[in-house]
Structure 1
């Protein structure tokens, strides 16, 4: 999620909070191509899937790396586990909504 977040940042998370477009969230990604589970991830929830409005498209703030919905498809509401409204450490700040496509 660089440049927005760096490895080791401590986030405030609201588990069970509904996602909104442009927000950062803790998500459960589908298994990889070999069927192995992936760890929970921090992603930007960009928009509802136009083909399946009950699902979310996810993005990475770093265009050079990171898993997005282009690789794994859209996620269900149940796969969006929490939202992250603020970074607590190393320097506290509100994680503002980024306007997405």
Structure 2
């Protein structure tokens, strides 16, 4: 999910929330249901949701495993919390930079229009 999410980021999720196109969701991997993955719900199709990652170079999404059944969608991500700066980078500037971008709502990170444009380009 890079660039929206980076390794070490934490998510505040809402279980059982209504999913809309453009939402970041937590779901069970269709082939390994013990594995939770984070993807963006692009559109509802017959049989469930078409999901993609925000990194177009990684194809571990619906391009690989197809439509994800609705019952495998576990939660909708509401907020992203970046991890604080490393010990060696704890300058005032590093902390201010972190503070201004640490908490960010995930809705609208990629607009529905941009998603459909990106899908048409493939």
User: Do the two structures share a fold, i.e. TM-score over 0.5?
Assistant: yes
TM-score of the superposed pair, with normalisation by structure 1 = 0.84
Higher fraction of strand:
1
Indicate the larger mover: 90-99 or 71-80: 90-99
Instruction: Quote the Cα distance in structure 2 between the aligned partners of 1:38 and 1:62.
Output: 23
- Post-superposition CA distance 1:6-45 (Å, at most 9, x none): 01101100011121100000011111xxxx5561000000
- Root-mean-square deviation (CA), in Å? 1.5
Q: Which residue of 2 aligns with 1:76?
A: 69
User: Tell me, which stretches of 5 or more residues in structure 2 are unaligned?
Assistant: 84-101, 117-122
- Of structures 1 and 2, the larger Rg is shown by 2
Size of the aligned set, in residue pairs, is 94
Q: Which residue of 1 aligns with 2:17?
A: 17
What secondary structure is seen at the aligned counterpart in 1 of 2:6? coil
Q: Which residue of 2 aligns with 1:93?
A: 104
Q: Which residue of 1 aligns with 2:90?
A: none
TM-score of the superposed pair, with normalisation by structure 2 = 0.71
